[in-house]
Amino acid sequence: MLKYQAPLRRLAMPGIVAALFLAPPVALANEQSALAELKSIRALADHADAEAARRIGMVRMSLPADASPLLLRELADTEARVSGCVAPGALPGAAALAAGAAAAAGVPGTANAGKPALGVPALGSTPARAPGLDRAKPAGSRAEVIPRAQRLRLLATTLAAVAAAAAAAAVFMMYRRAQDKSEKLAQLNRELNDQARRDPLTRLKNRRAFLDKMADRSESMPVNRTATDCITLMNIDHFRLVNDRLGHDVGDAVLAEVGRRLNKVVRDTDMLVRWGGEEFLVFSPNAHPNQMRVMLERVMGAVGSTPIQVDGHTITVTISAGLACVPFAGIPEDDFDWQKVVSLADKALHHAKQQGRNRAVAVAGLSADETQAMAALEADFGQAVEQGMVEVMLVPGPAGAQVKQLHPA
């Protein structure tokens, strides 16, 4: 028998379980990385606001007293755009310096110190930020390094998740391929096992299959079994003449056709076996001996009623049969097992041939003392029948089924 080992099966479940356990942490890691990214962006914006406010304050403190109105308006406009980035009073003296500079320059609306010009918000106020503010990120600052590291961590986590999913998928595919191969090998083993138990010519079960059947029967048979099983041996009459006069190819065709006809008339529960050569065996489980006459008439009629056509030859074939049942005549199988019943059926088959062939002899039971009758059967079956020590049933075959040119009297 072919054997196949699939070690990949041991890898399939760990890979799938690893993927299932890895998926939630990967999703959580992605969410945490996104949250950290947003926090970093917010910190970067706060840093840029504070830096812009500080630099505006430095520009304001460095303004000369005679600064031009254009410069002061540009400063006020820039301050309005980034207003709210620092708290009031964060740059002490800046507003006073701006007011003094504006008054010295004669800018209208700057007479009152500390009051901003109309439409110009004071530094530290919180009006709505103008949309589209472009905050420049200071080169080389820590705010630039942190998001990059987080992005790298996010990328690494994503790649790890993709790799884990790909590994799980690969392991699963390998497992499926191994499973498919195992199923194919199992099917091949079943086919080889069936071929080993079939006759290659007739495609019927062979002697090995019957022996296995009887071994299983012996192991599974209950102690108080009352059912009766019957065994029938059949032999093609004068089959040697078919081989000698028409050739072995024709003989093989006759054997195959006889097997096909027998297989059509036996019960579905029966086991039809090519016992060897031109001999066949039928094992009929749970069959009462009284029903065997009908079965014998059916099988002999199926074979002998219609001639067989082979390569232009019309061949009428008949069979002779012997039948016995197990347990036999109420004798326990421990004393008279199925093998002895097969031998008894073979004796009945030879007795049918001695009586003229194309007939069947069924051994129904014993009509004398068991010890004497069994001894007589072992010594001479025909004499035991003539002496009335054994009960037999004679079943004739189809009338006029002999072919004289092939089967001389």
Two tokens, residue 305: 């009623």
**Stronger pLDDT, 319 or 18, i.e. the higher one:** 319
Is the pLDDT assigned to residue 380 strictly greater than 60? yes
Q: What's the alpha-carbon Rg for the chain, to the nearest Å? A: 53
Is the pLDDT assigned to residue 86 strictly greater than 90? no
* 245 conformational bin, left if phi > 0, alpha if psi -120 to 50, beta if neither: alpha
Q: Hey, what domains does the chain have and what are their CATH numbers?
A: 1-118+138-196 (no CATH), 207-396 (3.30.70.270)
Q: Which amino acid is at 221?
A: M
Q: What is the pLDDT of residue 214?
A: 94
Place of tokens 């080889």: 192
**Stronger pLDDT, 280 or 119, i.e. the higher one:** 280
pLDDT interval class at 43 (50, 70, 90): confident
Distance CA 191, CA 304 (A): 34
pLDDT interval class at 17 (50, 70, 90): low
Angle at which helix 69-81 crosses helix 94-104, to 10 degrees, equals 150
Beta carbons within 10 angstroms of residue 263's beta carbon: 16
Is the pLDDT assigned to residue 197 strictly greater than 70? yes
- Strands 319-326 and 359-366, how do they pair? parallel
Distance CA 177, CA 35 (A): 42
pLDDT tens for 329-338 read 889 888 999 9
Residue 313 phi, psi (nearest 5):
-95, 140
Query: What would the mean pLDDT of 7-28 be, rounded to a whole number?
Result: 56
pLDDT interval class at 148 (50, 70, 90): confident
pLDDT interval class at 400 (50, 70, 90): low
**Stronger pLDDT, 156 or 36, i.e. the higher one:** 156
Query: What would the mean pLDDT of 348-355 be, rounded to a whole number?
Result: 96
* Beta-ladder partners of 198: 205
Distance CA 155, CA 339 (A): 78
> In 16-99, which ranges are E strands?
none
Is the pLDDT assigned to residue 35 strictly greater than 90? no
Q: What is the pLDDT of residue 87?
A: 46
Q: 176, 154, 180, 85: which is closest to 124 by C-alpha?
A: 85
Q: What is the pLDDT of residue 146?
A: 58
**Stronger pLDDT, 199 or 146, i.e. the higher one:** 199
